[in-house]
């Protein structure tokens, strides 16, 4: 990966800045407050981050939540995304916590594109009869959505374009970038 101040080059593809680190951090600070306020203080939020992409978003949300917020944190992962969108093929979920009955679950995604991943995860979690399931996503591509499921908390709505950085990858590269970049051309 090569990088100058505005462009990143990975495997022959060029990416340009879409959202700066400052912009992202300011928005996450707002979102953390919004999420915190939507749950009464006595309710514990069971936050479940979807790996790999959401690890940075989860970490920064935790930074900005009030420090006395009652919160549990866990992560889950869909074993593979290959072919999932077009075929609707089901892939096993790894590491999904049991014992969510009557809990307030907050699923945290890096990006919602077709929405099939989050729909599948939500259905699996619903089987445990939680009290509530809400969805927070840093990025949302409304024009790509193929389900009726709507996120409850959205960082940024973006065009249906391919993006990397801040946890999001292209061929496993680019997750370390602090800004979010969009594929040029």
Contact map string, positions 112 to 151, toward ligand IMP, x by CB under 6 A: xxxxxx----------------------------------
* Residue closer to ligand IMP, measured from CB, 127 or 171: 171
The partner residues of 140 in beta bridges, in order of sequence, read 112, 157
The residue from 47, 105, 107, 111 that contacts ligand IMP (CB under 6 A) is 111
Residue list 37-66, contact with ligand IMP (CB under 6 A): 53
Q: Which residues pair with 55 in a beta bridge?
A: none
Spot the catalytic one: 60, 110, 113, 179. 113
Among residues 16, 81, 102, 126, which is the contact residue for ligand IMP, using CB under 6 A? 81
How long a stretch of residues is the chain?
A: 185
Helix 55-64 vs helix 21-38: crossing angle, to nearest 10: 60
Q: Quick one: 31 or 116, whose CB is closer to ligand IMP?
A: 116
Selected range binding ligand IMP among 13-21, 29-37, 55-63, 159-167, rule: CB under 6 A:
159-167
If one asks whether residue 163 binds ligand IMP (CB under 6 A), the answer comes out as: yes
SS (H, E, C) 5-45: CCEEEECCEEEEEEECHHHHHHHHHHHHHHHHHHCCCCCCE
Beta bridge partners of 173: 170
**How far does CA 109 lie from the centroid of its chain?**
2
- In the complex with ligand IMP, which residue's Cβ is closer, 36 or 73? 73
Torsion of CA 15, 17, 19, 21, to 10 degrees: 110
The secondary structure element, H or E, covering residue 64 is helix 55-64
Q: Are 78 and 117 in contact (CB under 8 A)?
A: yes
CB of 110 to ligand IMP, least distance (A): 5
Q: Is-catalytic flag, 113?
A: yes
Residue 109 binds ligand IMP, judged by CB under 6 A? yes
> How far does CA 168 lie from the centroid of its chain?
9
Q: Which residues are tagged catalytic?
A: 113
Residues in touch with ligand IMP (CB under 6 A): 53, 81, 85, 109-117, 162-164, 168
């Amino acid at each position: 990966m090569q990088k100058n101040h505005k462009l990143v080059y990975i495997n022959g593809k060029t990416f340009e800045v879409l959202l700066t680190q400052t912009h992202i951090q300011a928005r996450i600070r707002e979102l953390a407050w919004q999420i915190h306020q939507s749950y009464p203080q006595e309710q514990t939020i069971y936050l479940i981050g979807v790996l790999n992409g959401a690890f940075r978003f989860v970490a920064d949300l935790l930074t900005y939540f009030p420090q006395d917020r009652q919160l549990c944190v866990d992560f889950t992962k869909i074993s593979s995304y290959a072919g999932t969108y077009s075929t609707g093929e089901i892939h096993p979920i790894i590491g999904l916590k049991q014992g969510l009955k009557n809990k307030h679950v907050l699923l945290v995604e890096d990006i919602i594109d077709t929405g099939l991943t989050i729909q599948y995860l939500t259905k699996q979690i619903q089987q445990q009869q939680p009290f509530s399931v809400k969805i927070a996503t840093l990025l949302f591509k409304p024009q790509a959505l193929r389900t009726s499921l709507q996120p409850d908390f959205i960082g940024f709505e973006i065009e249906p374009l391919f993006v990397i950085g801040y946890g999001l990858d292209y061929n496993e590269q680019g997750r370390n970038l602090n800004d979010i970049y969009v594929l040029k051309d």
